[in-house]
Amino acid sequence: MEDFDFNITIVGLGLIGASFAMALKELNPKNLWAVDIDMEAIETAQELGMIDKGYLEPEIPLKNSDIVIMCVYPNLTIKFIKDNMNYMKVGAIITDTAGIKKKVLDEINSFIREDLDFIGGHPMAGREYKGIGFAKKDIFKDANYILTPTNKNKKKNIELIEKIIKGIGCKNITKVTPKKHDEIIAFTSQLPHIIAAALINGSNKDDNLFTAGSFKDATRVAKMNTELWAELLMENRDNTIKQINIFEEHITKIKNAIIKKDKDRLEALFENARNKREAFIEKCMK
């Protein structure tokens, strides 16, 4: 497609990077390259036609790429750009997929070359698995995508990134400040992972015989990439602690209604939950 007549490099062929590659490939970019430290991942991606060519060393692809898509952990996103920005083509657009945005934006904007345009992004997509073997282009289908543009970004570059995001199948693109992103994501993403972990950490032998869907769903994401999530939580510490505190208050409200044998109060709290969940799903359907 003429529209995507660019050279694109994906950095990191994990679950997100490889899924991004698969979805991007369908848009027929001029060249789709990847950089990874794992030769096996590169070979797999080449063999399966996810990318045109993969590299262990970033110099060659970066020199020729109009767009660079970072698909690695937050701190590595910062380090990689810092270490390799001198290879990058003049005027290249860089975007990322890290799950926290304020630190990533602040640090990268503190050192990045003036001609490079770094646009922060975060796809609301993932699976409770890691690695190229679980990549699927469908993870972006109808997904939400957050962009955190700043006034340093060029309008036409933001529009191009948005076109790519829509092109890989995402439904809603929401633009917020990096700070706002981190506040909300602590609730919608980091808190559910913490809850799932805390719930399953309290489990005992043979509990599996007493479970139905509610327990299974509530603990699904406890099977997480522990290293990644520990980094995400640590780098979004204040917001995460705040959201845990708010959640604890809501749990306490329910607990107190039970302790006080206040069934009306308990039903009211559940009614509120029910209504909020229904409204949430309705909005998701739009």
Q: Which of residues 242-271 bind its own copies (CB under 8 A)?
A: 243-244, 246-251, 253-255, 258-259, 261, 263, 266-267, 269-271
**Closest separation in Å from C-beta 190 to its own copies:** 9
| Contact of 167 with 4, CB cutoff 8 Å | yes
Q: Which of residues 149-168 bind its own copies (CB under 8 A)?
A: none
Based on CB atoms, which residue is closest to its own copies, 115 or 267?
267
Binder of its own copies out of 79, 141, 154, 277 (CB under 8 A)? 277
**Closest separation in Å from C-beta 222 to its own copies:** 4
Based on CB atoms, which residue is closest to its own copies, 40 or 207?
207
CA atoms within 13 A on the CB side of 279: 6
Tokens of 59: 């110099």
| Contact of 127 with 15, CB cutoff 8 Å | yes
What are the Cα distances from residue 158, in Å, to 95, 162, 195? 10, 6, 35
DSSP 42-83: HHHHHHTTS-SEEESSSHHHHHT-SEEEE-S-HHHHHHHHHH
Binder of its own copies out of 8, 10, 16, 185 (CB under 8 A)? 185
Based on CB atoms, which residue is closest to its own copies, 112 or 218?
218
Q: Which of residues 71-130 bind its own copies (CB under 8 A)?
A: 124-127
Residue type at position 140: F
Binder of its own copies out of 107, 144, 147, 163 (CB under 8 A)? 144
Torsion sign across C-alpha atoms 114, 33, 231, 238: positive
**Closest separation in Å from C-beta 143 to its own copies:** 7
> x/- contact string, 206-225, with its own copies (CB under 8 A)?
xxxxxxxxxxxxxxxxxxx-
Q: Which of residues 24-63 bind its own copies (CB under 8 A)?
A: none
Based on CB atoms, which residue is closest to its own copies, 28 or 188?
188
**Closest separation in Å from C-beta 158 to its own copies:** 17
**Closest separation in Å from C-beta 43 to its own copies:** 28
**Closest separation in Å from C-beta 269 to its own copies:** 6
DSSP 4-43: G-SEEEEE--SHHHHHHHHHHHTT--SEEEEE-S-HHHHH
How many residues touch its own copies under the rule CB under 8 A: the total is 88
For residues 121 and 108, give the distance between their C-alpha atoms in angstroms, rounded to a whole number. Answer: 13
**Closest separation in Å from C-beta 86 to its own copies:** 31
Kindly give, in sequence order, each residue whose CB lies less than 8 Å from that of residue 86, ignoring residues fewer than 6 positions away: 113
H helical segments located in the chain: 15-25, 39-47, 59-63, 74-84, 102-111, 155-167, 178-185, 191-201, 213-219, 226-235, 237-259, 263-285
Based on CB atoms, which residue is closest to its own copies, 45 or 244?
244
